[in-house]
């Protein structure tokens, strides 16, 4: 497994880097895993990048792979970017016909093709909505595995993913998720009328949220001024509980920081059931909470455990008793909430700032030119 640290020799290279990033997934993932890095790299000397999302604000897979069947202009665009770039980074492809295009482009242009993947697709839980797409033997699973094997390198979001995918490719780089702080500036929560534990996310976390429901329910009964805010992907059992605010509202990724901040969480939670799929997940929810100076209580899965210092930059809760103790500690102590939120914010700004991560990513790409 390779790390983000470039060799000193790479820093002195003078050749202009020309990189293309080809998105295949939803706009939020595309922004965090490609867009933020591509846009930031453009600010560096002797770097030219282009991001090709094809469709923006999409909440399903980016549709160019479907549309290419009837639109030759899409194929011409892909061909153009592969021709002009020194190195091309692709997200995981979904279909045999789009992988066929990938193979054709690789042979035609003889350029390094890297693959970006941020989920552990080899062990998707049966209750996850992505299971049917990536179950063993499915088309998408076969395509993704072949793309990994034939790529010149993999870009992943966590060390755990790098370890899991080493059988498919022996050149793997960890590029962690990061925060574009200019988008989150000045959005931290101000005083409001009620104390709020909050969670925000998609509809694939029902099992994770139900795991902590007994604790949330007990705390809501114990503290009359406490509310639980569950934004967008709220499981049905929460919707009938007293002091639970839930909504299906969502926002496009360019408006997401302001949307998230508008709910004014005092405490954020990041529960995850312990399984192989979730162990591959990044600490993105902690990053987002921290960007708003919101203290976080999280399950102690690898990417949270490696960044959260217990009681200083967050809390790790391995069982329901720990969830109750950690949340209750934060509920009772406004000063601690403030201190943990600020410390987490500073840690993210120092270590997971998009400027720093994009610079290291640039050096990785320079290895291939």
Residue 202 sits in the same domain as residue 338: yes
Residue 332 sits in the same domain as residue 205: yes
Residue 189 sits in the same domain as residue 254: yes
Q: Specify if 2 maps to a domain.
A: no
What would you measure as the largest C-alpha separation in the chain, in angstroms? 66
Give the full edge-to-edge strand order of the sheet including 153-156: 47-52, 17-22, 87-91, 113-116, 153-156, 172-174
Q: Specify if 260 maps to a domain.
A: yes
Residue with tokens 């640290």: 5
Residue 164 sits in the same domain as residue 30: yes
Q: What is the CATH number of the domain that holds 52?
A: 3.40.50.2000
Residue 191 sits in the same domain as residue 118: no
- Domains held by the chain: number: 2
Residue 165 sits in the same domain as residue 307: no
Residue with tokens 């960890």: 174
Q: Specify if 28 maps to a domain.
A: yes
Residue with tokens 């076969």: 142
Q: Specify if 40 maps to a domain.
A: yes
Q: Specify if 3 maps to a domain.
A: no
Residue 188 sits in the same domain as residue 153: no
Q: Specify if 1 maps to a domain.
A: no
Q: What angle do CA 233, 236, 238 make, to 5 degrees?
A: 90
Residue 338 sits in the same domain as residue 360: no
Listed in order, strand segments (DSSP E) in the chain are 17-22, 47-52, 87-91, 113-116, 153-156, 172-174, 195-201, 226-232, 244-247, 267-270, 296-298, 315-316
Note the pLDDT tens digit of each residue in 77-133. Answer: 999 999 999 999 999 999 999 999 999 999 999 999 999 999 999 998 888 777 788
Residue 155 sits in the same domain as residue 170: yes
pTM of the model: 0.93
User: What's the rounded Cα separation, in Å, for the pair 62 and 253?
Assistant: 14
Residue 343 sits in the same domain as residue 358: no
Q: Which domain holds residue 232?
A: 182-351
Q: Specify if 156 maps to a domain.
A: yes
Q: For 227-250, give the secondary structure using H, E and C.
A: EEEEEECCCHHHHCCCCEEEECCC
Torsion of CA 263, 271, 303, 253, to 10 degrees: -30
Question: Which tokens in the block code for residue 184?
Answer: 């989150």
Residue 17 sits in the same domain as residue 31: yes
Residues 293/190, Cβ–Cβ less than 8 Å: no
CB atoms within 10 A of CB 59: 11
In terms of Cβ atoms closer than 10 Å to its own Cβ (0-12, 13-18, 19+), residue 60 is exposed
With left for phi above 0 and alpha for psi between -120 and 50, is residue 295 left, alpha or beta? Answer: beta
Q: Specify if 311 maps to a domain.
A: yes
User: What's the rounded Cα separation, in Å, for the pair 201 and 251?
Assistant: 11
With left for phi above 0 and alpha for psi between -120 and 50, is residue 80 left, alpha or beta? Answer: alpha
Q: What angle do CA 95, 98, 99 make, to 5 degrees?
A: 85
Tens of each residue's pLDDT in the chain, 369 residues: 443 443 333 333 447 999 999 999 999 999 999 999 999 999 999 999 999 989 877 777 789 999 999 999 999 999 999 999 999 999 999 999 999 999 999 999 999 999 999 999 999 888 877 778 888 889 999 999 999 999 999 999 999 999 999 999 999 999 999 999 999 999 987 777 899 999 999 888 999 999 999 999 999 999 999 999 999 999 999 999 999 999 999 999 999 999 999 999 999 999 999 999 999 999 999 999 999 999 999 999 999 999 999 999 999 999 999 999 999 999 999 999 999 999 999 999 999 999 999 999 999 999 998
Residue 316 sits in the same domain as residue 357: no
Q: Which one, of 282, 283, 287, 253, lies nearest residue 28 by Cα?
A: 253
């Amino acid at each position: 497994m390779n790390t983000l640290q470039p060799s000193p020799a790479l820093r002195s290279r003078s050749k202009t880097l020309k990189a293309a990033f080809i998105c295949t997934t939803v706009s939020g993932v595309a922004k965090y895993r490609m867009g933020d890095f591509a846009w930031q790299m453009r600010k560096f000397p002797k770097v030219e990048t282009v991001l090709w999302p094809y469709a923006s604000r999409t909440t399903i897979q980016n549709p160019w792979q479907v549309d290419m069947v009837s639109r030759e202009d899409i194929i011409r665009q892909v061909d153009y970017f592969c021709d002009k770039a020194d190195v091309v980074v692709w997200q995981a492809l979904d279909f045999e016909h789009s992988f066929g295009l990938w193979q054709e482009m690789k042979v035609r242009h003889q350029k390094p093709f890297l693959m970006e993947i941020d989920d552990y697709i080899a062990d998707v839980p049966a209750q996850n909505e992505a299971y049917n797409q990536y179950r063993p033997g499915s088309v998408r699973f076969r395509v993704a595995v072949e793309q990994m094997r034939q790529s010149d390198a993999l870009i992943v979001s966590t060390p755990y993913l790098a370890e899991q995918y080493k059988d498919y490719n022996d050149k793997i780089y960890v590029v962690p998720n990061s925060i574009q702080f200019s988008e989150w500036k000045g959005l931290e929560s101000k005083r409001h009328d009620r104390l709020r534990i909050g969670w925000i996310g998609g509809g694939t976390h029902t099992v994770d949220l139900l795991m902590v429901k007994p604790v949330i329910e007990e705390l809501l009964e114990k503290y009359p001024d406490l509310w639980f805010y569950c934004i967008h992907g709220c499981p049905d059992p929460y919707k009938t509980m007293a002091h639970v605010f839930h909504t299906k509202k969502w926002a496009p990724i360019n408006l997401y920081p302001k949307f998230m901040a508008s709910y004014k969480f005092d405490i954020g939670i990041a529960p995850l059931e312990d399984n192989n799929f979730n162990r591959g997940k990044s600490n993105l929810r902690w990053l987002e909470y921290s960007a708003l100076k919101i203290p976080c209580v999280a399950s102690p899965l690898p990417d949270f455990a490696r960044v959260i210092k217990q009681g200083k930059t967050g809390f790790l809760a391995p069982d329901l008793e720990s969830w109750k103790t950690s949340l209750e500690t934060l509920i009772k102590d406004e000063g601690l909430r403030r201190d943990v939120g600020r410390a987490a914010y500073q840690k993210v700004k120092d270590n997971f700032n998009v400027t720093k991560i994009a610079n290291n990513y640039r050096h990785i790409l320079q290895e291939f030119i």
